[in-house]
Amino acid sequence: MTAQRRFVRRTVLAVTASVAALTLAACGNDGDGKAASGTASATATGGHNAADVSFSKEMIQHHRQAVEMAGLAAGHASSAQVKSLATKIEGAQAPEIRTMSGWLTSWGEEVPKDMSGMDSGMDHDMSSSSTPGMMSDADMGKLEKASGADFDTMFLTMMVEHHEGAVSMAKAEKTDGEYKPATELAAGVITAQSAEIAQMNKMLGKG
């Protein structure tokens, strides 16, 4: 091959590569120069939607209250079953709080402030929230003051309602959510907490 032909061949290859690059760039943008919808856009946003954000924020607060309630059992409950269940609840939900907080941070969303454990006189009554199953400050105050068999009954009754709220939220996320890890976590919440609801109702003599 002569030097002239080699030069022509290199020139053609360079032009072909440039055209391909321009074509890809055009396909990746719409008329306003913004990234087109599709896989690239989904990857950039983490593949999540507003339902995923709402679920994560509300479930973080919901889990925090469950962990707070569970934390009372060690010093207030009389039943070994209640103490064991409380430990199980705390062990499952605390890591999920960290997981969902990580999602929100990666999405550029604010992680809700932890209002648990604050004085009841503070203006943080979570009962004003639309989050299903959340206990009011008054409820939490009663639980903190209870002990023995009274605590056991109160804890189980409140936690059944609390779990039912979580299951409701999780079902909504499975229907409306887009972020796969979030919908998978929601499915896990439904399975685990539905089983615990049945267990607690049995402990209350309702099963």
β-bridge partners, 77: 148
**pLDDT recorded at residue 1:** 53
Decide if 122 contacts 134 (C-beta within 8 A). Answer: no
Answer for the pair 97, 105: CB distance below 8 angstroms, yes or no.
no
Count helices and strands in the chain by DSSP H and E runs? 7, 0
pLDDT at 129: 54
Distance CA 168, CA 186 (A): 10
Residue 7, CA atoms < 13 Å, CB-side half-sphere: 3
Is-contact 143 69, C-beta < 8 A?
A: yes
How far is the C-alpha of 88 from the C-alpha of 31, rounded, in Å? Answer: 54
Beta strands in the chain (DSSP E): none
CA distance linking residue 79 with residue 90, whole number of Å: 17
Residue showing tokens 């605590």: 151
Pairwise CA distance, residues 23 & 80, whole Å: 68
**Predicted pLDDT at 87:** 98
What's the pLDDT score for residue 122? 36
Over residues 78-126, the pLDDT tens digits come to 999 999 999 999 999 999 999 999 999 999 999 999 866 544 433 444 4
Full pLDDT tens readout for the chain, 207 residues? 554 454 435 444 443 444 343 333 434 444 443 333 333 333 434 599 999 999 999 999 999 999 999 999 999 999 999 999 999 999 999 999 999 999 999 999 999 998 665 444 334 444 445 789 999 999 999 999 999 999 999 999 999 999 999 999 999 999 999 999 999 999 999 999 999 999 999 999 986
Instruction: Copy the structure tokens of residue 108.
Output: 């550029």
- Write down the pLDDT at residue 114: 86
* pLDDT score of 41: 35
Pick from 80, 100, 86, 73: which is nearest to 163 by CA? 86
**Whole-structure pTM over 0.85, yes or no?**
no
